Structure 1
Amino acid sequence: MTAQQTDAPVLVHVEGRAGHLVLNRPRALNSLTHPMVRLLDATLAAWAKDPEIDTVVLSGAGERGLCAGGDIRTMHDDARDGDGTATEAFWRDEYRLNARIARYPKPYVTLMDGIVMGGGVGVSAHGSVRVVTERSRVAMPETGIGFVPDVGGTYLLSRAPGELGTHLALTGGSVGAADALLCGLADHFVPSERLDTLRAELASAPAAEAVRRHAGEVEVAGGVLGEGREWIDRCYAADSVEEIVRRLTDSGVPEAKEAAETILAKSPTSVKVTLEAMRRARGLDSLERVLEQEYRVSCWALRRPDMVEGVRAQIVDKDRNPRWSPATLGEVTPEAVAEFFAPRAEGRELTFGEG
């Protein structure tokens, strides 16, 4: 590669029969920009028809992780100072990329090493061969910045066993390899020291065969969600966030009480909309229908005060003291939640058609 190519935000190269996509913004934890999304989508479209490419491999540059999500600062600035249309256009292309990945006709191998959050989940967890390591930390942390899980996150989490996905969606908690496997966010555990060898073998070996050869047994002790299934399923089965918090607080389980405190620190609007989005996602029959719903919710969240305030507090000023509006769960009415799901004007919807 030339120096210019190695500076590109996405490195695209072919090794044998494998096409490699490397997210290449390590200083920004490989966070996604709109040009990156467009390049990923165009490359995948071309490789789908290329008889020389058998497998696609997605990885991240640097040692910290695959991808920390979308470029939140850019979205914050657009919501605060612009009209939001740039962010809406980004989400439109990003969600369509997520759908392409889920329907990709060739093995799409994602190396979910290190941090994989938000948009990073969208470009990895919809793939057909999803690899985690002992360093993986997977999360949809949106409620902490006044937003709602997107990129198909409510589709994935709503289909996790029991209420595990509801727990992760509301708290924004991260999981390691064992729990990612339990929740259906990943398929295989491969020790990080074997990833380079795995990459090399993918040049000629079938993806499933190569991954199986290097897969190891993740220690059950590394997971925590399985041990908490009883209280998680019981508490999060409630029909409202208020009742979920009450059950968690009264459960007598220290981890449950901690989860209640975590939820109460998040944006009240975000957690209520997230619960509604999760419940609705269970009743939708495809990823595309869920992405259409998420686009409506995301575009409305962009115009509410909590997203700008959440990013300010967590990312920009880093005072970790967001001033949510409304400030309490009781002030978020059912009518306010319903607004997030209302159809938008023509041209402001994301559609995939019937197929």
Structure 2
Amino acid sequence: MSDISIRVTGRAGRITLDRPQALNALTYDMCLAIEDALDRWANDTSVDLIVVDAAGERAFCSGGDIAELYATGKAGDYDYGRKFWADEYRLNAKIFSYSKPVVSFMQGFTMGGGVGLGCHGSHRVVSETSQIAMPECGIGLIPDVGGSLMLALAPGRIGEYLGVTATRMSAQDAIFAGFADCYIPQHLWPDLIAKLEDTGDAAILTPATLAPPASELQEHQAQIDALFDGETLGDILNNLRKNDGEFARETLKKMERMSPLAMASTIEVIHRLRGPSLTIEKALDLEYRFTYRAMEHGDFLEGIRAAIIDKDRKPAWQFADMNVPLAATGKMLRPLGNAALTLENTR
């Protein structure tokens, strides 16, 4: 497959995304190929660890390739998207619980589906160019691919803030928020990858890891915790509107571009997950309840139209006044019964 290079080099299973012209966006076939490779290598004693990287300077992976999702959804075929998401989520869970180290090198943009691929492994490397985000609310989805788990685990109310504003994290922000582990300057990566291939030992990353610069996100945490301490989207909006500070104004401006239904559902999902019972399976199940319904009942198709197809940046969101009834989020997140997500490979 020309979009991806999968091979074994030395002691490492190697996965390189190779669509730099498309910012290495993940296609459905790429997801399936990655899963097949992980299945092969799980019990291969010649493979000690997995290294995931990407071609080009601009992006590790900008997200999922959504053009076909839009085309099928507009034609009234919702099953293709449901199958895509179910299979992608199974891959995310597999990376999260993989029996061998998974080392990801995330330069440039890492967003949406790229987070699901790069941020669930055991060793998540970022650099001076890294920008990581969960921008799904801007197209009518909620942060998915297991991203809701990381948002629920982030310090204080950082998860709510990142989830509903699509704020891009620098390398240092990503480490603070729990989306990355190692800050290593990018010019060192080729030699490190060669050593990983030669030794099969992820511990070689430790000497190269530097203390990242100060996190801007961390500096704003006190404000974020105060502004986002509400139980619902309405509570948070009230806090923001009553605050005349610049940070609150800028935050509100970001949120005004997002799907209100998606934001309200994002906050609800994070609140349901937060606590001792949090698991990747629970996070993916809640995410799938929303994405399963996103084309038919949510804002997904309208969000894609406005951002990608017509590019008018003027989506006609449901609940455009941002007053989202609790019943609306309840509808998007209710259990799916026989259609519930299963993480068993049935293909």
TM-score bracket relative to the smaller structure:
over 0.9
Partner of 1:304: 297
Q: Which residue of 2 aligns with 1:334?
A: 326
Stretch deviating more after TM superposition (99-108 or 305-314)? 305-314
Residue type at the aligned position of 1:211: L
1:284-336: CA deviations, max 9, x gaps? 43101111111111111121252111111111111111111231222x21111
Letter in 1 for 2:211: E
Q: What is the rounded CA distance, in whole Å, between the counterparts of 1:34 and 1:271 in structure 2? A: 26
Distance 2:256 2:311 in 1: 19
Query: Which blocks of at least 5 consecutive residues in structure 1 are unaligned?
Result: none
1:281 aligned to 2:273?
yes
CA distance in 1, matches of 2:201, 2:319: 49
Question: How far apart are 1:16 and its partner, in Å?
Answer: 1.0
* Deviation at residue 136 of structure 1 after TM alignment: 0.5
Q: Using the TM superposition, give the Cα deviation of residue 250 of structure 1 relative to its aligned residue in structure 2, in angstroms.
A: 2.6
Aligned mates of 1:207, 1:121 — CA distance in 2 = 24
Query: Would you say the 8 A contact 1:109–1:207 is kept in 2?
Result: no
How far apart, in 2, do the equivalents of 1:281 and 1:303 lie? 25
Task: Select which of 177, 194, 198 maps to 1:183.
Answer: 177
Task: Determine what percentage of the aligned residue pairs are the same residue.
Answer: 38
Residues in 1 aligned to 2:182 and 2:243: alpha-carbon distance in whole angstroms: 34
Once the two structures are superposed, residues 232-275 of structure 1 have per-residue CA deviations (whole angstroms, 9 ceiling, x without a partner) of: 00111111212212212333331121101211221111111111
Would the alpha carbon gap of residues 140 and 207 (structure 1) be closer, same or farther in structure 2, given more than 3 Å must change?
farther
Question: Residue type matched to 1:116 in 2?
Answer: T
Whether the 8 Å contact between 1:112 and 1:132 is mirrored in structure 2 is yes
Aligned to 1:111: 105
User: How far is the alpha carbon of 1:345 from its aligned partner?
Assistant: 4.3
Per-residue CA deviation, residues 333-354 of structure 1 (Å, 9 max, x unaligned), is 11111011112241x211348x
Partner of 1:96: 90
Q: Which residue of 2 aligns with 1:130?
A: 124
Aligned: 1:323 with 2:316: yes
Give the match for residue 254 of structure 2.
Answer: 262
Per-residue deviation, 1:192: 0.8
Q: Output the CA distance in 2 between the equivalents of 1:207 and 1:161.
A: 30
Question: Deviation at 1:208?
Answer: 3.1
Q: Which residue of 1 aligns with 2:8?
A: 14
Give distance in 2, aligned partners of 1:54 and 1:245: 49
Tell me, yes or no, if the aligned pair for 2:123 and 2:181 is still in contact at 8 Å.
yes
CA RMSD of aligned residues (A): 1.4
Matched, 1:242 2:226: no
Aligned 8 A contact 1:133 1:190 in 2: yes
Equivalent residue of 2:216, what SS? coil
Q: Structure 2-normalised TM-score?
A: 0.95
Cα separation, 1, equivalents of 2:209 and 2:21: 29
**Greater shift in the superposed pair: 72-81 or 244-253:** 244-253
Residue type at the aligned position of 1:310: G
Q: Is the 8 A contact 2:47 2:200 kept in 1?
A: no
Name the CA distance, whole Å, in 1 between partners of 2:72 and 2:319.
22
CA distance in 1, matches of 2:141, 2:127: 28
Name the residue aligned to 2:340: 349
Contact 1:147 1:307 in 2 (8 A): yes
Give the 5 Å matches for 1:50-129.
50-129=44-123
Moved more, 172-181 or 264-273: 264-273
Alpha carbons 1:231, 1:251 under 8 Å: kept:
no
CA distance in structure 2 between the partners assigned to 1:250 and 1:205 by the alignment: 57
Give the secondary structure class of the aligned counterpart of 2:199: coil
Retained in 2: the 8 A contact 1:112–1:133? yes
For 1:155 and 1:56, how far apart are their aligned partners in 2? 22
Compare 149-158 and 80-89 and name the one that shifted more: 80-89
Deviations 1:170-221 (A, max 9, x none): 111110000000001000001011111111111123543221132222211x
Q: Distance in 1 between matches of 2:173 and 2:245?
A: 20
For 1:94, what is the secondary structure of its paired residue?
Answer: helix
Q: SS where residue 186 of structure 1 aligns?
A: coil
What is the aligned partner in structure 1 of residue 287 from structure 2? 294
